[in-house]
């Protein structure tokens, strides 16, 4: 087991009994045994003028008693073990070499002396037992990490296989669309179909790029840091292990729904709190904690933040949390790519065999907002007005995801990714009401009646297929809901009503 010098020396220090029971060689055996009992110790070091002469142990006393020796007539000098093996603490720093010496020499007690030959302590079974347990615990932690790492590699491989499968299906869709375009070369829909192909090609690039980027992040991490992690975990004390895994747990719980402004506010609050605790480099630590997902309740981590190795522990926790986020991004982007195929299939044919399930509408909206996180944070203020304790509804969640995707995508494009995006979800009578409002340029009165027509679009070629709002309308109708739109210069609002009771089918 590899350890650095300071860590092995620290373990050795913990194993030393700094207050051994010392007695002169002329001390009677009866007095020595009484002193051992009173001090609750299993050994006595016999010294004369600070020089070590021998050792008398609990085992020696038991042998004398078993042999019915007259203890009153004996002194320690007559029964002590001499010619002891000792170690000089100045010359010895490695706990593992000490353990090896104890094992090879078949001894239980090892006196510690200084350069002058004076006794300064001893390693005994009682002081050594917790150190051996700590070493075993560290080995177990390292083994658990290797197991978790193997699971992570398996997950990466599985997600990569899903990417390849989805990419092949997407390529087949594009090939089929291209074939249809050639067959309809003389048709009025040729130009529109060309826009459809271009639009689909544009839309699939986003999840594919996200997957490629996430896989690259994971690959770079495994290449750069994998070999260092076992040593890092072995050098962690049990207390720091608890802090480390608590940080990763915080990262796992993070939903990443905070706006950039909210994150900056939390970071500043964290920095002020760290500065009040006199913790150096408070600004850098606050940034790392915020990136991990620790925005508040940092009191439990204050002992870690005040320790000398806090920077390495936080940096490693941050890198692993980024790894976790990359796997979630792969999962989300893979689902997104599959939904694009689903949307195209939905337009041509609906699968009525699918069963509705109970789902939380806000969860679906937040899933789509995660996909657009990068575009939103560049210059869009996101306002969420979610009523509390909203009921789940029977629905087709994947299809509703497509609704939120199309409406949010249109809203962001209408604002040119600069403005305010407001999302409101509440119960109104027997319906769930969802409002998505943007501060874009608005929809002209002449165009407004046509926006739900299939293939109708005002966007430039390659920017849209003209199917988005038509698909939205069909999905809402499939849920026995309605969709309304109001628009003027500087504000457009889409309002969706979804009935809570959908037993009409």
Label each residue of 150-166 as H, E or C: HHHHHHHHHHHHHHHHH
* Cα distances (angstroms) measured from residue 165 to each of 211, 331, 333, 337, 347: 13, 13, 13, 11, 22
Sheet holding 43-48, edge to edge: 22-23, 43-48, 51-57
Three-state DSSP at 3 gives coil
Is residue 93's pLDDT more than 80? no
**Residues 96, 218: one domain?**
no
Is residue 194's pLDDT more than 90? no
In this predicted model, which residue has the larger pLDDT, 458 or 199? 458
| H helix or E strand, kind and range, residue 146 | helix 125-183
- Is 109 within the bounds of a domain? yes
Strand extents, DSSP E, 114-192: 119-123
Is residue 316's pLDDT more than 70? yes
What SS3 string covers 22-46?
EECCCCEHHHHHHHHHHHCCCEEEE
How many whole angstroms from its chain centre is CA 341? 31
In this predicted model, which residue has the larger pLDDT, 248 or 460? 248
**Residues 151, 95: one domain?**
no
Contact 397, 357 (CB under 8 A): yes
Is residue 468's pLDDT more than 80? no
Q: What is the pLDDT of residue 64?
A: 87
**198-245: pLDDT as tens digits:** 445 555 677 777 777 777 777 777 777 777 777 777 777 777 777 777
In this predicted model, which residue has the larger pLDDT, 282 or 160? 160
Q: What is the pTM of this model?
A: 0.37
Q: Which residue, 330, 363, 389, sits at the end of a domain? A: 330
What is the pLDDT averaged over residues 17-39?
A: 89
**133-168: pLDDT as tens digits:** 777 777 777 787 888 788 888 888 888 888 888 888
In this predicted model, which residue has the larger pLDDT, 126 or 377? 377
**Residues 231, 173: one domain?**
yes
Q: What is the pLDDT of residue 242?
A: 78
The count of C-alpha atoms lying within 13 angstroms of the C-alpha of 53, restricted to the half-sphere facing its C-beta, is 17
What is the percentage of the chain residues whose pLDDT exceeds 70?
A: 79
**Residues 354, 488: one domain?**
yes
- Is 370 within the bounds of a domain? yes
Q: What is the pLDDT of residue 231?
A: 73
In this predicted model, which residue has the larger pLDDT, 141 or 379? 379
**Residues 75, 189: one domain?**
no
- Is 258 within the bounds of a domain? yes
**Residues 171, 71: one domain?**
no
Into how many domains does the chain fold?
3
Confidence of residue 255 (pLDDT cuts 50, 70, 90): low
In this predicted model, which residue has the larger pLDDT, 299 or 194? 299
**Residues 404, 356: one domain?**
yes
- Is 414 within the bounds of a domain? yes
What is the pLDDT averaged over residues 107-132?
A: 78
Confidence of residue 393 (pLDDT cuts 50, 70, 90): very high
- Is 131 within the bounds of a domain? no
**Residues 318, 185: one domain?**
yes
What is the rounded CA–CA span in Å between residue 222 and residue 225?
A: 6
Question: Which CATH number does the domain housing residue 49 bear?
Answer: 3.10.580.10
* Pair of tokens at residue 68: 């019915």
What is the pLDDT averaged over residues 9-35?
A: 84
In this predicted model, which residue has the larger pLDDT, 196 or 404? 404
**Residues 109, 203: one domain?**
no
Pairing of strands 380-386, 419-428: parallel
**Residues 282, 208: one domain?**
yes
**Residues 443, 324: one domain?**
no
- Is 128 within the bounds of a domain? no
**161-192: pLDDT as tens digits:** 888 888 888 888 777 765 543 343 233 333 33
In this predicted model, which residue has the larger pLDDT, 58 or 497? 497
**Residues 96, 150: one domain?**
no
Is residue 263's pLDDT more than 70? yes
What is the percentage of the chain residues whose pLDDT exceeds 90?
A: 15
Q: Which residue, 265, 298, 330, sits at the end of a domain? A: 330
The count of C-alpha atoms lying within 13 angstroms of the C-alpha of 229, restricted to the half-sphere facing its C-beta, is 21
Confidence of residue 505 (pLDDT cuts 50, 70, 90): very low
Residue 251's domain spans which residues?
138-330
Q: Greatest CA separation found in the chain?
A: 122
Cβ-in-10-Å burial (0-12, 13-18, 19+) of 204 comes to buried
What is the rounded CA–CA span in Å between residue 171 and residue 166?
A: 9
What is the rounded CA–CA span in Å between residue 429 and residue 498?
A: 11
In this predicted model, which residue has the larger pLDDT, 20 or 301? 20
Sheet holding 16-17, edge to edge: 16-17, 119-123, 110-113, 87-88
- Is 314 within the bounds of a domain? yes
Question: Which CATH number does the domain housing residue 484 bear?
Answer: 3.30.565.10
* Cα distances (angstroms) measured from residue 158 to each of 161, 167, 320, 394, 398: 5, 14, 19, 31, 22
- Is 343 within the bounds of a domain? no
Contact 247, 317 (CB under 8 A): yes
Q: Which residue, 270, 298, 330, sits at the end of a domain? A: 330
What is the pLDDT averaged over residues 258-272?
A: 76
Q: What is the pLDDT of residue 423?
A: 97
Q: What is the pLDDT of residue 432?
A: 96
What is the rounded CA–CA span in Å between residue 56 and residue 33?
A: 9
């Amino acid at each position: 087991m590899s350890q650095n010098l300071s860590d092995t020396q620290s373990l050795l220090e913990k194993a030393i009994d700094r207050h051994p029971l010392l007695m002169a060689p002329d001390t009677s055996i009866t007095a020595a045994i009484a002193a051992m009992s009173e001090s609750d110790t299993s050994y006595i070091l016999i010294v004369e003028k600070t020089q070590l002469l021998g050792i008398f142990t609990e085992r020696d006393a038991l042998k004398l008693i078993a042999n019915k020796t007259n203890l009153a007539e004996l002194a320690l000098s007559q029964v002590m073990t001499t010619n002891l093996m000792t170690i000089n603490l100045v010359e010895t720093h490695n706990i593992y070499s000490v353990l090896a010496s104890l094992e090879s020499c078949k001894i239980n007690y090892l006196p510690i002396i200084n350069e002058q030959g004076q006794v300064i302590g001893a390693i005994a079974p009682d002081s050594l037992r917790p150190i051996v347990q700590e070493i075993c615990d560290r080995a177990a932690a390292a083994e658990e990490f290797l197991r978790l790492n193997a699971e992570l590699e398996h997950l990466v491989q599985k997600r990569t296989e899903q990417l390849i499968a989805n990419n092949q299906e997407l390529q087949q869709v594009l090939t089929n669309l291209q074939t249809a375009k050639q067959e309809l070369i003389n048709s009025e829909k040729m130009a529109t179909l060309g826009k459809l192909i271009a639009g689909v090609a544009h839309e699939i690039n986003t999840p594919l790029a996200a997957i490629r980027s996430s896989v690259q992040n994971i690959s770079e991490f495994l290449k750069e840091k994998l070999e260092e992690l076992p040593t890092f975990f072995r050098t962690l004390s049990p207390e720091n292990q608890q802090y480390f895994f608590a940080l990763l747990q915080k990262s796992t719980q993070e939903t990443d729904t905070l706006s950039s402004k909210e994150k900056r506010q939390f970071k500043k609050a964290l920095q002020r709190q760290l500065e009040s605790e006199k913790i150096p480099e408070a600004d850098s630590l606050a940034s790392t904690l915020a990136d991990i997902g620790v925005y508040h309740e940092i009191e439990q981590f204050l002992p870690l933040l005040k320790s000398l190795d806090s920077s390495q522990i936080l940096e490693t926790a941050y890198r692993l949390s980024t790894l976790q986020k990359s796997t979630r991004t792969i999962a989300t982007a893979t689902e997104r790519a599959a939904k694009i195929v689903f949307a195209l299939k939905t337009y041509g044919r609906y699968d009525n065999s699918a069963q509705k399930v109970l789902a939380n509408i806000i969860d679906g909206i937040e899933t789509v907002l995660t996909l657009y996180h990068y575009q939103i944070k560049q210059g869009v203020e996101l306002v969420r007005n979610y009523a509390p304790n909203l009921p789940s509804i029977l629905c087709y969640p994947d299809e509703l995801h497509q609704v939120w995707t199309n409406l949010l995508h249109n809203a962001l494009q209408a604002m040119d990714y600069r403005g305010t995006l407001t999302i409101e979800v509440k119960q109104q009578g027997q319906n769930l009401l969802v409002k998505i409002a943007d501060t874009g340029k608005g929809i002209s009165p002449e165009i407004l009646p046509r926006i739900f027509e299939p293939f109708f679009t005002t966007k430039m070629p390659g920017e849209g297929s003209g199917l988005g709002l038509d698909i939205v309308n069909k999905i809402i109708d499939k849920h026995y809901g309605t969709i309304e739109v109001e628009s003027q210069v500087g504000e457009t609002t889409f309002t969706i009503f979804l009935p809570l009771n959908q037993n009409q089918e």
